[in-house]
Amino acid sequence: ASVGARRVSSTSSVGYASRGAVACSAGKVAVLGAAGGIGQPLSMLVKMLPSVKELSLYDIQGTKGVAADLSHCNTACKVTGYVGEEELTSALEGCDLVIIPAGVPRKPGMTRDDLFNINAGIVKSLATACAEVCPNAILNIISNPVNSTVPICNEVYKAKGITGASARILGVTTLDIVRSNTFLAEECGLDVDQVDVPVIGGHAGVTILPLLSQMRPKVQLENKRIEELTTRIQNAGTEVVEAKAGAGSATLSMAYAAARFAESCLRGLQGDKVYECAYIESSLIPDLEYFASKVQLGPNGVEEVFEVGQVSDFEQQGIEGLIPELKKSIAKGQEFAKN
Ligand code: NAI
């Protein structure tokens, strides 16, 4: 199957366009790490989604204030703040979707993998709580290194004997798609709403592989320009880290991207067929247990994983080049979770 003719849900409007429209069945969403740089703007965007009935904000600090503040916005969704491990179970009870941006961000000179030592433990403990309290919820994993944190979550669920969870444990790579769409629209002088670039592989350096050959609408670019744009997309996170000069990594664009992905997941839960890219456990690429692919979302999370499809020679080299790095990051996550 190919996702080709369909746009990967850039129709998603973070709900604003549909305000006042019929809100479908209500959902409860939790944000873990809600007082952070991503967590705060993301929580606000989720508060604006008409399908969210309840928003549960959890962090180890600061959530009472964020929740009090957001609760004054006159959207229908009810907001509650939970602080500290003893309140984590209450935060997660009855959740349909749990979004996890908890953990430390990069500083200049750091790779996403440098975050592993701190973030792996945070994600493992939060995933353990999700598996115990809301095992059927969809998880959106934002905490880096996503290439390893998604395998960690899967191992936690497997160890607890929860079957079918890999379709619900989704690494959020949407910022890579958002950036690709923005850069390509600028490059080609196109309406950004019409641009859709699938991005596959993983979410770090060369594992981020935009498929410019499959971009909609179809455009003609010189090979050299394709290579330069690919490199810019792969390093776009570092552009932000350097510009922030020690104050963290992408937060506003990440919140925007995560809200779009969350909205797509919620639409899927309500029975819509929605297309996105996500980093998930899959058997698409021989020898790799996880891969970011074009997927169809539905009531059970990922309903279908699409083949990579036809790619250029440059992209094929990119796929072959990313396999060893992705494999290492996957194994690192799996080993951590088992010990
Ligand atoms: P931040 O430091 O501003 O916020 C992180 C929040 O997590 C803080 O409020 C902190 O108190 C909280 N936290 C720490 N330990 C926790 C725990 N055990 N339980 C609950 N909350 C906990 O960081 P920022 O900028 O919001 O980034 C968060 C993560 O998102 C980082 O790992 C970063 O690398 C990642 N990220 C991922 C992107 C992606 O495309 N997937 C893009 C940008 C950032």
In ligand 1, which atom is closest to the CA atom of 146?
Answer: 41
For tokens 């020898």, the residue is 287
- Single-letter code of the amino acid located at 35: A
Cα of 82 vs centre of ligand 1, distance in Å, is 16
For ligand 1, atom 16: residue with the closest CA: 102
User: What digits encode the pLDDT tens for the residues 9-67?
Assistant: 444 444 333 333 333 456 999 999 999 999 999 999 999 999 999 999 999 999 999 99
Q: What is the pLDDT of residue 12?
A: 42
Higher-confidence residue of 266 and 12: namely: 266
Distance 298 CA to ligand 1 centre (A): 27
Distance spanning both ends of the chain, measured CA to CA: 38
How far is Cα 303 from Cα 179, in angstroms, rounded to an integer?
Answer: 25
Position 339 confidence tier, pLDDT thresholds 50, 70, 90: confident
Cα(174) to ligand 1 centroid in Å equals 16
Q: Check: CB of residue 12 under 8 Å from CB of residue 39.
A: no
Distance between CA 146 and CA 134 in Å, rounded?
21
Pocket test for ligand 1, best of 40, 66, 142 (most atoms within 8 A of CB): 142
CA of 34 to the centre of ligand 1 (A): 8
Q: Of 271, 269, 240, 245, which Cα lies nearest the Cα of 256?
A: 240
The single-letter DSSP state of residue 290 is: E
Q: Assess contact for 127 and 153: CB atoms under 8 A.
A: yes
Catalytic sites, residue numbers: 203
Q: What is the pLDDT of residues 204-238, one digit of tens each?
A: 999 999 999 999 999 999 999 999 999 999 999 99
Sign of the torsion angle spanned by Cα atoms 297, 301, 307, 312: positive
What does pTM read for this prediction?
A: 0.94
Residue 8, Ramachandran bin (φ over 0: left; ψ between -120 and 50: alpha; else beta):
beta
Tell me which residue has its CA closest to atom 27 in ligand 1: 105
Average pLDDT for 309-329: 98
